Amino acid sequence: MYELKVAIEDNGKRVDNVATKNMVVLRPELEVSRTLIQRMMEKGEVLLNGKLVKPGYKVKADDKIEIDLDKLEKGSIAEHDGKIPRAEEVPLDIIYEDEDFLVVNKPAGMVVHPCHGHYSGTLVNALLNYPGFLTKFNEPRDTKDEQHLMRPGIVHRLDKDTSGIMLVAKTGVAHRKLSKQLKERTVTKKYMAVVRGVVELDEGLINAPLSHDKKDRIRMAIDEEEGKESLTYYRVIKRNKEKNYTVLEVR
């Protein structure tokens, strides 16, 4: 059983939401849903402080959530039609590489993880074909839990229609450390965006919780009730009143 400690920021939140949020960070390639976590809780595959609790139970800081990673993986594969990604000759634009990680320039239009309707041509398919990658991490330095990490080192997301830089771990140690840095927001991610309309404020903060769109799991949508906290800071770089658009730096 994988054990995680509830962070102070999650105090008072539903146990199923906290477990889902953490598994999305630890195992982003599995596209873990809250429904899957709830089913696992019913079977005793997700426990709180060693006990069975209901999905809506409110956790406290420092509580321990135990999750059966093997059952999580099998449940995710079943939930995604049993499709297992395969190596494919998909071009990769690699900007940097060392023994621990890759920096890949993902083009717009490429899906990161195989998911419903997109089981081919993804970044994961490309990485499985790249020399030096294994379907499982198995480094001498890796912990037992890290050796269960399936599919090559995806540690963060980037939407299908968004181009940009992606960090890809090559070892379990790198996967754990990069995931931790991203979770603690010690890594700064910046985007350039062109939006329709002329933004009046020079800068601002958008607070809009996000979750998967209920009608299209590939897309994200604002979900005030069950969405994951999402804060977006923007700064205006250029305004074009004549053509009605604004160029923003977003992070």
- Show which residues are catalytic: 159
Q: How far apart are the first and last CA of the chain?
A: 35
The full DSSP string for 68-101 is -HHHHHHHHHHHTTT-----------EEEE-SSE
Q: In angstroms, rounded to a whole number, what is the distance separating the alpha carbons of residues 78 and 90?
A: 26
Q: In angstroms, rounded to a whole number, what is the distance separating the alpha carbons of residues 211 and 39?
A: 19
CA-angle at 232, arms to 20 and 226, nearest 5° = 30
Strand partners, 1: none
What are the C-alpha distances in Å from 113 to residues 29, 80, 83, 104, 179? 6, 11, 12, 14, 16
**Of 24, 49, 47, 43, the residue nearest 34 (C-alpha):** 24
